């Protein structure tokens, strides 16, 4: 790797930074809203699955305790 001076490094960083295409404010807000919606849906889904399997385990434990 070639060594460059600190000034040249800063110039290269500025050049690369100018190539970045930043999202618009609307795109950022829409993406954030979609993330909130999807995480909420997944949270509800996994809560339902956890509740369902918890009920099954409780039923099996109660069934096993009754058989002893």
Has residue 62 been placed in a domain?
A: yes
The predicted pLDDT at position 8 comes to 94
Model pTM?
A: 0.64
Say if 34 falls within a structural domain: yes
Let me know if residue 61 belongs to a domain.
yes
Using CA atoms, how far residue 38 sits from 30, 46, 54, in Å, is 12, 12, 24
Confidence of residue 3 (pLDDT cuts 50, 70, 90): confident
- Is 8 part of a structural domain of the chain? no
Total domains, the chain: 1
Does 16 reside within a domain? no
- The answer to whether residue 30 sits within a structural domain is yes
Is residue 6 over pLDDT 60? yes
Q: Structural domain of residue 45, as residue ranges?
A: 25-68
Q: How far is CA 9 from CA 4, 18, 66, in A?
A: 6, 14, 75
Residue 6 lies in a domain: no
CA–CA distance, 38 with 11 (Å, rounded to integer)? 41
């Amino acid at each position: 790797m070639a060594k460059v001076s600190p000034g040249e490094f800063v110039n290269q960083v500025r050049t690369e930074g100018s190539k970045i295409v930043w999202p618009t404010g609307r795109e950022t807000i829409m993406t954030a809203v979609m993330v909130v919606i999807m995480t909420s849906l997944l949270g509800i889904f996994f809560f339902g699955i956890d509740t369902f399997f918890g009920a099954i385990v409780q039923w099996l434990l109660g069934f096993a305790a009754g058989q002893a």
